[in-house]
Chains A and B, each alone.
Chain A
């Protein structure tokens, strides 16, 4: 979207500065008078919510790192010291631990919103792929973060997941073992492993920050998608980001913070696992090793495949397949709102993912395994078969003429003056 900043420096200092580093001009153009579709619903507030989550995790994480000891002997004790002896340590720690879960709730809503409204389709392919990368780095960061309290579930979660790489031995004997020992920094999960996980857990959020900057940049090149999936064609299709989109984003963010605070203050341990309040013990294996809830769908896919290597490949493919979604979807229409057939399959995908999440927490036996396999097959079939085929055979509903035509009460032939009023003032 072509868009130039309407920034005008007011003081002589601002003008002096603008000639040398026009950052205020850039910000004004991208976040003040940037044109946003006028028909965005509350699902579009999750981008801002996710930015908040990242910044909040970094802020609380920096404070926690001031008190945390990344060693096998002291890690668990230092987390307890934060809970008990650091002033408001309980609050910062809960905020960070619950914050990880909230980050994932928001990112899953954000991803499904993108899938429903076709936000991955041209010209937003790079924007979408950057999003998949962000998701991947987020998962790596969260996984290493969960290791840091060095409780039983931390230790055994790291053991199970890092051991997955040993399945590479099935391809080239010895390679898997070498990779696993390289990850561990030794011959078993130990304090050395914890130490490097801490280092990476501190590094990766800044990588995320860079990826998010690129994601927002790519978004501001293509412009936002919207519930109709139509491009902004005329000025009346859009409203300036400030105050319109900002006002709506603020409502969305604060509503989300209500849920966030509910967990921080009233249910801080609900999303975690009780076993992580027992210090890591390499000699005692917990009866059920379960990852954090946000990994459960992928964990279910891993266990649905009868071979270890196959499971690992399926698990990583479940994320990798998302990269190809822009080209797998053959429909000419972006938004599922106008795709009567695809809409049903979208909700089947949602059900499959929720179902896999439920099954990931169950022991791998009996009907649980059968259902895991059914949902896993659907998950891949959705992207590899249904998306290409449905796009070709489906007759989409008639699209509105434009974004503004879709929101005007009479539908078409709208009085242009009323629509264009706010941004031509």
Chain B
């Protein structure tokens, strides 16, 4: 490596590190709040889901979110399949039978549609049959299905323009894809009193992370009314982190297989490239070029 290349790499590394500094001073630029990055077990290029965390996250969904939000692209069977929360199969079957929201099936032999208990192959449904029913039941607001929410949300870059390419380079090098869960965590912990200069519309709450800061969803988790886990522990912070992880899995259930396969592919490609390069060098060393 030449001296120029070395100092070039060093400069890039320093700038990549600089792009990592908190940019709170620039927060709220263009209506976008600055969202802190969290540490996730499934983050980066080596991450995998933490089974226990997904199980706790599902508990939050079951005890809180499900009263308004569906999870229609996730099926009950996914809850016991590998790479997810991996609950025991029997427990999931029992859970499906007692799920509060029934599946509409039919028509039966009389030509009527009927409600039935979900089976493992059925989707995890919320309380509303359609958007109209949801809006009627929610004061005009529409609680979206949460199956893809962790992929459908991302964090906007709020730093300076010159640091942007380095921030991108760092994200590519570290395999950062967790903007969605970062946002969900920030949203769930972002409720609070509105600043004096903010006038809230009717039925809206103040949220530091939500674009525009006015959100129709009432705080689903609270500091003093969090959901307790089976071991009796828990906090608002834990709840928010665990449900964000669970929703990340719901949106990307093949992540474990994807990343572990990825490493085998990378290993194969690296070794093959090196072998091909060695072969090419030997071949070309015989002729000036």
Residues of A within 8 A of B (CB): 38-39, 80, 83-84, 90-91, 94, 239, 243-244, 247-248, 250-251, 254-255, 257-258, 261-262, 264-270, 274-275, 277-278, 287, 358, 363, 404, 407-409, 418-419, 421-422
Segment from B19-27, B94-102, B201-209, B269-277 that makes contact with A: B269-277
27 contacts between A and B (CB under 8 A): A80-B147, A84-B73, A90-B254, A90-B257, A90-B258, A94-B258, A244-B283, A247-B283, A247-B284, A248-B284, A250-B276, A250-B280, A254-B276, A261-B262, A261-B269, A262-B172, A265-B265, A265-B266, A270-B177, A274-B151, A274-B180, A275-B152, A287-B211, A408-B288, A409-B288, A419-B287, A421-B287
Chain A residues with CB below 8 A from B135, complex form? none
Chain B residues with CB below 8 A from A407, complex form? 288-289
User: What secondary structure prevails in chain B residues at the interface with A?
Assistant: helix
By beta carbon, the residue of chain A nearest B275 is: A254
In the bound complex, CA of A264 to CA of B176 (Å): 13
In the bound complex, CA of A419 to CA of B57 (Å): 69
A244-B283, A254-B269, A270-B171 are known contacts; what are 7 more A-B pairs with Cβ within 8 Å?
A39-B289, A84-B254, A251-B273, A262-B175, A268-B177, A278-B152, A407-B288
Chain A residues with CB below 8 A from B226, complex form? none
Q: Does B179 contact A (CB under 8 A)?
A: yes
Q: Distance in Å from the Cβ of A88 to the closest Cβ of chain B? A: 9
- The answer to whether B258 touches A277, judged by C-beta atoms less than 8 angstroms apart, is no
By beta carbon, the residue of chain A nearest B155 is: A274
What total of chain B residues lie within 8 Å of the partner, measured CB to CB? 45
- The answer to whether A261 touches B276, judged by C-beta atoms less than 8 angstroms apart, is no
Q: Does B251 contact A (CB under 8 A)?
A: yes
In the bound complex, CA of A261 to CA of B272 (Å): 14
Residues of B within 8 A of A (CB): 30, 45, 73, 78, 147-148, 151-154, 161, 164, 171-172, 175-177, 179-180, 211, 251, 253-254, 257-259, 261-263, 265-266, 269-270, 272-273, 276-277, 279-280, 283-284, 286-289
- The answer to whether B287 touches A239, judged by C-beta atoms less than 8 angstroms apart, is yes
In the bound complex, CA of A110 to CA of B177 (Å): 29
Chain A residues with CB below 8 A from B180, complex form? 274
- The answer to whether A266 touches B259, judged by C-beta atoms less than 8 angstroms apart, is yes
- The answer to whether A265 touches B152, judged by C-beta atoms less than 8 angstroms apart, is no
- The answer to whether A91 touches B261, judged by C-beta atoms less than 8 angstroms apart, is yes
By beta carbon, the residue of chain B nearest A274 is: B154
Q: Distance in Å from the Cβ of A85 to the closest Cβ of chain B? A: 9
Chain B residues with CB below 8 A from A84, complex form? 73, 78, 253-254
By beta carbon, the residue of chain A nearest B161 is: A358
Chain A residues with CB below 8 A from B288, complex form? 38, 404, 407-409, 418-419
In the bound complex, CA of A264 to CA of B78 (Å): 23
- The answer to whether B283 touches A277, judged by C-beta atoms less than 8 angstroms apart, is no
In the bound complex, CA of A74 to CA of B154 (Å): 25
Chain B residues with CB below 8 A from A94, complex form? 258
- The answer to whether A91 touches B258, judged by C-beta atoms less than 8 angstroms apart, is yes
Q: Distance in Å from the Cβ of B241 to the closest Cβ of chain A? A: 20
- The answer to whether B175 touches A266, judged by C-beta atoms less than 8 angstroms apart, is yes
- The answer to whether A254 touches B254, judged by C-beta atoms less than 8 angstroms apart, is no
In the bound complex, CA of A407 to CA of B289 (Å): 5
Give which listed residue, A80, A258, A274, A419, contacts B179 with CB less than 8 A: A274
In the bound complex, CA of A334 to CA of B265 (Å): 40
Q: Distance in Å from the Cβ of B264 to the closest Cβ of chain A? A: 9
Chain B residues with CB below 8 A from A262, complex form? 45, 172, 175, 266
By beta carbon, the residue of chain A nearest B147 is: A80
In the bound complex, CA of A254 to CA of B277 (Å): 10
In the bound complex, CA of A383 to CA of B261 (Å): 46
Given contacts A90-B258, A265-B262, whether A251 and B277 have CB atoms under 8 Å apart is: yes
Q: Distance in Å from the Cβ of A257 to the closest Cβ of chain B? A: 5
Chain A residues with CB below 8 A from B270, complex form? 258
Chain A residues with CB below 8 A from B161, complex form? 358
Q: Distance in Å from the Cβ of A181 to the closest Cβ of chain B? A: 29
Chain B residues with CB below 8 A from A90, complex form? 254, 257-258
Given contacts A247-B276, A254-B269, whether A422 and B151 have CB atoms under 8 Å apart is: no
Given contacts A261-B262, A419-B287, whether A269 and B151 have CB atoms under 8 Å apart is: yes
Chain B residues with CB below 8 A from A261, complex form? 262, 265-266, 269
Q: Distance in Å from the Cβ of B84 to the closest Cβ of chain A? A: 11
Chain A residues with CB below 8 A from B259, complex form? 265-266
Chain A residues with CB below 8 A from B258, complex form? 90-91, 94, 265, 268
In the bound complex, CA of A68 to CA of B273 (Å): 34
Max chain A Cβ within 10 angstroms of own Cβ: one of B164, B257, B258:
B258
In the bound complex, CA of A379 to CA of B177 (Å): 34
Q: Distance in Å from the Cβ of A221 to the closest Cβ of chain B? A: 24
Chain B residues with CB below 8 A from A422, complex form? 286-287
By beta carbon, the residue of chain A nearest B152 is: A277
In the bound complex, CA of A14 to CA of B167 (Å): 58
